[in-house]
Structure 1
């Protein structure tokens, strides 16, 4: 069996320099480094999210069929961050130009969370814990939420 030591999210965006600035403003992350082509296109950049988290970024490379979510028009991926204050982080994201997808609210799974689409087309879910639940309790609440009630 292969032992995996780390997993990194690697996003392709239409403007890596702008994405680095946005993520720095919203999440307070710092840039580790970037590799820039003579043309100015960023081939690779890494952001330090703290606690061992690194986000890798690159500009689009259409010649290799590497395109960002905004160019494609959708993203199948959601990045989920646990933070101290979801309301504050989502608020900063909206103020910095993100589009609110789901307002921050208390969720059945024991988090207060919400989601937004960043200016580069990527979906972020941001939450903080409000109660510690077992998987069984989360399933019970999920089932109850999705079960229609009938009135007599």
Structure 2
């Protein structure tokens, strides 16, 4: 009812699949936030799963990469929250996440030894899955804006 008063038009009914995707987006991107946070805080239990070479690699990232990684992770989390509260800002937040994720992946796989350190093709496949999930969440957000669900 508040939406109708503020915008002068009723918001279309939000399909159940949209809510499912929004919750899945928050869970999926929440795992990314957990990985980022535990790594940045130096959580010993979490970092114990890394080899010495992997640990040195992760702890040796340049500051600019740390910033790009943070932006990629937290813009995806905020985009997920924006989906859940049905705001149009979800779409640009996911675009920011996609752009910064591409920068981080290009650096990791193009300019470092990440391929060898992060399980070869398995790490690449996981990176592609992350990229495709971000694109899918962005497409859902863009659809929501066009359909009038996200305002």
TM (norm. structure 2) is 0.24
Question: Which protein has the bigger strand share?
Answer: 1
Question: Which protein has the bigger helix share?
Answer: 2
RCO higher in 1 or 2 (8 Å CA, sep ≥ 6)?
2
TM (norm. structure 1) is 0.24
